[in-house]
Amino acid sequence: MRSRSTIPNVALRRGAIVGTAGAAILGCARASQPGLSSTKPTVATAGYYSFAANSARPLLAARTVSFALDRIDQRDLPLDHTYRHAGTGRGVTIYVFDGGVSMDHPELVGRVRRGYSAFPEDPAICNAHGTAVAGAVAGKTLGVAPEAEIVDVKMVQCEKLRGTIRGIVDGARWTIEDHKKHPAAPAVANWSFIADTAARIPALDSAVTSLRAAGISVIVSAGNIDINACRVSPGNADGTIVVGASALVRESERGIGDPIDRRAPGTAWGPCVDLYAPGDSVLLPSLDKDQSATVQLWNGTSMSAGYVSGAAALYLETNPSATPDAVAQYLRQTATKNVVRDSRSPFSRMLFVGPRTQEQQPKTIADARREAGQ
């Protein structure tokens, strides 16, 4: 059995996350000190191998050092140090709205394309946050969809580590036009930021609507603030897939007993959280002060959203014409139900990408009617 105690207990700083209607800021994770977890940028040693599967995609499996990947491929605990999933996300594009993504990190090299920048005079990369999010999506050994493509949509100003609503909206428009140039590639927009905790922001609501109309799912972080997620923009925009962070902890206050899933400390809560995914001390790509590649432990819903974007890529790989509503329905239906404690909601859904029995396959309305004899 692997428990949370096997993962280094590093205290991570959490950024301020309250924005205003005029500005959006990252606020979903900060890294521990560079190099605490490892000085090697690539950490997994086992290769992928194939099994028989129930679908057209082969079931892939590899030993993993990522407890996050280990958690989302199985319904129950304890963990087994293995990541099993169908597909790799090949042919799917994830637009990462952030502060810049490294093109050279071994976890991502060859699969990152520079896209739009709201601040073209800025350095290409403000900090490691965007690289970590992209790594959760598509890292070679630490990401959910290790062959998905990343497009860097930079909406953060490096000096202030803030972005503007206009930058996000312009980035969304650019994304839609870029997606039109690659019509064969299904796409997802990952928004690991929050902009307001008291009201909706009409400009962001409209951007979400436009992205969805273009066939692009919008997956957003719930935010690292202990309030009702229904109050948080852009997650309160219609049609977003809102992701909270889960933690794997010991049930006993003395740190003994079996591990359980719990809402991570400080994570927004409530019925507007569509899915939970690991977001407490998760191992992901990072950058040192000189921007050399490393891996670190990260906290926050930014990383959780990245894992869900990767799961969407796995689905879109074999369902490239799926609408954003179909993607959301699939992720909700296949999630593991009601295992996350303290969700402050009548229900909770833990992201699941592992093998499913035939009985666990998501059903269409037509399937349900046939079974009912209608």
Which of 327, 306, 286 is CA-nearest to residue 245?
306
Based on the residue annotation, tell me whether 302 is a catalytic residue of this protein. yes
Q: Which residues pair with 317 in a beta bridge?
A: none
- Residue 164 in tokens: 């503007």
Based on the residue annotation, tell me whether 221 is a catalytic residue of this protein. no
- The whole-angstrom separation of Cα 17 and Cα 7 is 26
Residue type, 363: K
Catalytic residue among 37, 302, 309, 343: 302
Q: Which residues pair with 217 in a beta bridge?
A: 188
Strands (E), 225-345: 241-250, 259-263, 275-278, 282-287, 293-298, 336-337, 340-341
Strands (E), 68-205: 82-86, 93-98, 112-117, 149-154, 162-164, 187-191
Catalytic residue among 98, 152, 274, 280: 98
Supply φ then ψ for residue 262, to 5 degrees. -145, 150
Catalytic residue among 85, 105, 129, 179: 129
Based on the residue annotation, tell me whether 85 is a catalytic residue of this protein. no
Catalytic sites, residue numbers: 98, 129, 302
